[in-house]
Amino acid sequence: MGKDAKDNFVFQGHGFSCFIDSNEKDPNHRYKAAYGPAAKYVKSQKAIHLAHSPDGIRWTPYHNGKAVLPRTAIPHPQIEGRRYVTASDTHSQIIWDGEANVYRIFTRDIYAGPQEGDDRKVSRGTRSMTNPDVKADPTRWTMVRSWEFDREGPEEYRYRQIYALTDWMYEGVHFALMSVLTSEGMIDFYIGTSRDADHWDLSWVYAGQPLVPPGPKDSFDAAGAFPFSQVVTWQDRHWLFYGAMDKGHKDKENRMTIGLATLRLDGFVSLAAGQEPGMVTTKPFKLNGSKLEVNVDASGGEFSVEVQDATGQPIPGFARQDCREIKGIDELRLQPKWARHADLVSLNGKVIRLRFDFQNARLYAFKVNP
């Protein structure tokens, strides 16, 4: 609480984000946070700091309150004369990656240098680093990668820069929640995907398809959206909170508020078929379970599932023509049935493939439960 007990501030930090650490055994370090110093500060202080807490309310800085990553200029590994520095003055994040067994930090870098001439403006980039044990040594960070948007050439920074990036891990996939700054001063909310939190698929950025597009003129989010550090999954929806602005980056009249967008469960991407029928077959996999659930929207069409052997041949009783009619449905956990009362339990432990046929429908996901 503040000194006058009229507010509910528990921590003052620039670009603050925190998480509950599932790897942590010490209750005093259950929550971990990344941030920059609050209030007015000089550039040398714009570096990443870490803190821990038992309850998300009472916070203790790591490293005696000093930055865990110094603001040091580093020569660019490919471009002579360029350099980059860990700026950490937007949205930084620390998370635990249980698959890789490391802590990860995502923060901002600033690129500068004379490569394109002395009038080269600053380009923003993003950095990822790892640490096996933050509590043992909060400064022991190893660089994974520092990068900026450059697929379209050295002048891309003039119209597109990565402003901030955080990592949301979901169902074995890393989702980059990206704030992308445009030359018009807009902030667009994009996603990217990765299996290793390093090599990001940026297809949505280069296709110009933000996950949460700016609102209409004069709306509270007309100038774009800053994604929060994580996506909340609740009541079979993904809840995407974001910081909204109405005027634009650095506009003195800009008003910041909080926005919310929601998405169906696993609804980030889909395989779609229109009037022309579509079909997709999975790679062979070992069936570990007996209950198939499919996330599909066939409210205006039809859908069927065929179970095949490893060579792609229909298994008797599970062929496409055996699948009971599925029409006019929109379900997150559809359980297909086959006319001969075929039961997947009979195939448990075998290598199979699944073939999905659909028309005027969207296939979002499937899974096999025990």
Instruction: Give the per-residue pLDDT at 5.
Output: 56
User: Tens digit of pLDDT for each residue in 87-130?
Assistant: 787 889 999 999 999 999 999 988 876 544 344 557 889 999 99
End position of a domain, from candidates 230, 264, 298: 264
62 and 132 share one domain: yes
Q: Give the CATH number for residue 276.
A: 2.60.120
Same domain, yes or no: 239 and 283: no
pLDDT one-digit tens code per residue, 155-204: 888 899 999 999 999 999 999 999 999 988 899 999 999 999 999 999 99
Residue 117, pLDDT score:
39
What is the extent of the structural domain holding 340? 271-369
Paired sense of beta strands 187-194 and 173-182, if any:
antiparallel
Which of 228, 231, 263, 262 lies closest to 243, judged by CA? Answer: 228
Please say whether the dihedral angle defined by the alpha carbons of residues 172, 150, 252 and 118, taken in this order, is positive or negative. positive
Domain end residue (candidates: 223, 245, 264): 264
| CATH number of the domain within which 87 lies | 2.115.10
Residue 328 to residue 298: CA distance in whole angstroms? 5
pTM: 0.88
- Number of domains observed in the structure of the chain: 2
Which of 167, 158, 230, 170 minimizes the C-alpha distance to 200?
A: 167
Do 246 and 295 lie in one domain? The reply is no
Residue ending a domain, among 264, 298, 324, is 264
Listed in sequence order, the residues at least 6 apart from 318 whose beta carbon sits closer than 8 Å to its beta carbon are 306, 307, 308, 338, 342, 347
| 228 in the same domain as 94 | yes
